[in-house]
């Protein structure tokens, strides 16, 4: 199987290479393309070890450096700037790019009629109406790498006719580092506090999203787009151990869940091997060690981002693109130390008040929505910052 990895130096990219490594010769994986933004040393090391046909580097200065170094050690590897080549070369493209920047890879993979192992939820959330028709292209399919959606994908297979039998989807949420805390007690939390995820080790953007429950909000929209289920039939359950990765309830009252220890290599291997099961085991449970599984309702007053996401999802059109863009700006501003944690939700809420109700039909419409939302969110963030100084 010819595998391309977009965002190979990020958390998902590195774990995909771990999956390939774990499979060894028996896995029949061939890494044909890697793409990175600007991490020169890391992508060069990956290329030297996996010997892909091409390496895509988006930053021009970084690209020149990568080309120079690989010329000495691996002159056959082409270093290029065009990420759409990933889908041309591979059977399956793992999209592990962070944020809206992953849209191009999502689009080109489906347009080329290839399997998209999707870890980049933002592209589907922002561009749902534009991505949906591409999924009808012969050979094009999305297998979710997000652990919750991968779980739902697995659970849905227990029904022969899930469109008829499905009652609701139950997305589980760890609750993040601030579960159980009041809004008042969260007023002055630091970036470091927010980056301490209790169960998952992930990149900074998604870790902050987990602390605000925006990650779960985005995943609600992602589930709506992936599985075509209405927002009324998608529930969120807080489950602090992150072992039940999500559940599906059927009309006869049965709930099917997928359980494993938190390990993204399981969803990655699932997406590569579907409809088969991977020969490598990741996250198998030691039942002698597992003492309990807890479930509770999310605190929607403290973690306002969850309902902001439901609202944007229900509005549809470009509203999810606005929400996701505003969130990216708010998170960047928070990580830079310019606004407080509880202002992330405020920035998004204020940005959404300017949403213009556009219905997107082209990628240009999505790009414009993203640009507009970022402009508003940046303006609102800097106003907040000024009033604090
Ligand atoms: Mg997830």
CA-closest candidate to residue 360, choices 329, 320, 323: 320
| CA angle at 371 for the pair 366 and 377, rounded to the nearest 5° | 125
Q: What is the widest separation between alpha-carbon atoms in the chain?
A: 63
3-state SS class at 261? coil
Distance 222 CA to ligand 1 centre (A): 10
Task: Please check whether residue 286 lies inside any domain of the structure.
Answer: no
Task: Please check whether residue 258 lies inside any domain of the structure.
Answer: no
Host domain of residue 53: 2-144
Distance 5 CA to ligand 1 centre (A): 19
Q: Is pLDDT of 256 > 70?
A: yes
pLDDT of residue 26: 84
pLDDT of residue 386: 85
Distance 196 CA to ligand 1 centre (A): 16
Distance 144 CA to ligand 1 centre (A): 10
Strand ranges (E), 84-190:
92-95, 115-118, 141-144, 166-173
pLDDT of residue 385: 85
Please state the rounded mean pLDDT for residues 107-124. Answer: 96
Task: Please check whether residue 294 lies inside any domain of the structure.
Answer: no
Tally the domains of the chain. Answer: 1
pLDDT of residue 257: 98
Q: pLDDT exceeding 70 applies to what percent of the chain?
A: 100
Q: Helix 214-227 vs helix 305-315: angle between axes, to the nearest 10 degrees?
A: 30
pLDDT digits (tens, 9 = 90+) for 351-376: 999 999 989 999 999 999 999 999 99
DSSP codes, 9-44: TSHHHHHHHHHHHHHGGGG--EEEEEEESS-HHHHH
pLDDT digits (tens, 9 = 90+) for 327-349: 999 999 999 999 999 999 999 99
Q: What is the C-alpha separation between 335 and 328, in angstroms, rounded? A: 10
pLDDT grade for 198, boundaries at 50, 70 and 90: confident
pLDDT of residue 253: 98
Distance 389 CA to ligand 1 centre (A): 36
Task: Please check whether residue 90 lies inside any domain of the structure.
Answer: yes
Distance 54 CA to ligand 1 centre (A): 29
The residue behind tokens 């008042």 is: 184
pLDDT digits (tens, 9 = 90+) for 162-181: 999 999 999 999 999 999 99
242 φ/ψ sector (left φ>0, alpha ψ -120 to 50, else beta): left
Q: Give just the sign of the alpha carbon dihedral 198, 204, 206, 212.
A: positive
Q: Is pLDDT of 197 > 80?
A: yes
pLDDT of residue 154: 98
pLDDT digits (tens, 9 = 90+) for 23-59: 998 889 999 999 999 999 999 999 999 999 999 999 9
pLDDT of residue 147: 97
Q: Is pLDDT of 200 > 90?
A: no
Distance 156 CA to ligand 1 centre (A): 17
Task: Please check whether residue 99 lies inside any domain of the structure.
Answer: yes
The residue behind tokens 């933004």 is: 37
pTM score, whole prediction: 0.95
pLDDT grade for 389, boundaries at 50, 70 and 90: low
Q: What is the mean pLDDT of the chain?
A: 96
Distance 388 CA to ligand 1 centre (A): 33
pLDDT of residue 278: 96
Q: Is pLDDT of 235 > 80?
A: yes
Task: Please check whether residue 135 lies inside any domain of the structure.
Answer: yes
pLDDT digits (tens, 9 = 90+) for 8-31: 999 999 999 999 999 998 889 999
Distance 29 CA to ligand 1 centre (A): 25
Task: Please check whether residue 69 lies inside any domain of the structure.
Answer: yes
Distance 219 CA to ligand 1 centre (A): 7
Task: Please check whether residue 315 lies inside any domain of the structure.
Answer: no
Domain CATH for 120: 3.40.50.720
Distance 206 CA to ligand 1 centre (A): 9
């Amino acid at each position: 199987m010819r595998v391309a990895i977009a965002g190979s130096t990020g958390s998902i990219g590195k774990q995909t290479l771990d999956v390939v490594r774990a499979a060894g010769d028996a896995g029949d994986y061939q890494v044909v393309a890697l793409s990175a933004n600007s991490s020169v040393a890391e992508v060069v090391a990956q290329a030297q070890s996996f010997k892909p046909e091409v390496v895509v580097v988006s930053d021009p200065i970084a690209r020149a450096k990568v080309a120079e170094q690989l010329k000495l050690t691996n002159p056959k590897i082409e270093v290029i700037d065009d990420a759409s080549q990933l889908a041309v070369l591979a059977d399956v493209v793992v999209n592990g790019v962070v944020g809206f920047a992953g849209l191009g890879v999502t689009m080109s993979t489906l347009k080329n009629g290839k399997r998209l192992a999707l870890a980049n939820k933002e592209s589907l959330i922002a561009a749902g109406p534009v991505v949906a028709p591409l999924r009808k292209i012969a050979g094009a399919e999305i297998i979710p790498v997000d652990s919750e959606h991968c779980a739902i994908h697995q659970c849905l297979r227990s029904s022969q006719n899930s469109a008829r039998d499905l009652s609701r989807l139950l997305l589980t949420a760890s609750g993040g580092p601030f579960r159980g805390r009041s809004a008042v007690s969260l007023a002055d939390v630091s970036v470091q506090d927010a980056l301490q995820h209790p169960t998952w080790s992930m990149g900074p953007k998604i870790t902050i999203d987990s602390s605000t429950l925006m990650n779960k909000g985005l995943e609600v929209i992602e589930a709506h787009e992936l599985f075509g289920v209405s927002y009324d039939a998608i529930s969120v359950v807080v489950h602090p151990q992150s072992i039940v990765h999500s559940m599906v309830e059927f009309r006869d009252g049965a709930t099917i869940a997928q359980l494993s220890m938190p390990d993204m290599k399981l969803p990655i291997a699932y997406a590569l091997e579907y409809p088969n099961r991977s020969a490598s085991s990741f996250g198998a449970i030691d039942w002698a060690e597992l003492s309990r599984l807890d479930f509770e309702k999310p605190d929607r007053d403290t973690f306002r981002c969850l309902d902001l996401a439901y609202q944007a999802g229900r509005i549809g059109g470009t509203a999810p693109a606005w929400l996701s863009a505003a969130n990216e700006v708010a998170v960047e501003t928070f990580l830079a130390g310019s606004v407080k944690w509880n202002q992330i939700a405020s920035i998004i809420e204020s940005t959404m008040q300017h949403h213009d109700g556009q219905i997107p039909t082209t990628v240009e419409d999505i790009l414009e929505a993203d640009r507009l939302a970022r402009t508003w969110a940046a303006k609102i963030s800097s106003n907040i910052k000024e009033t604090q100084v």
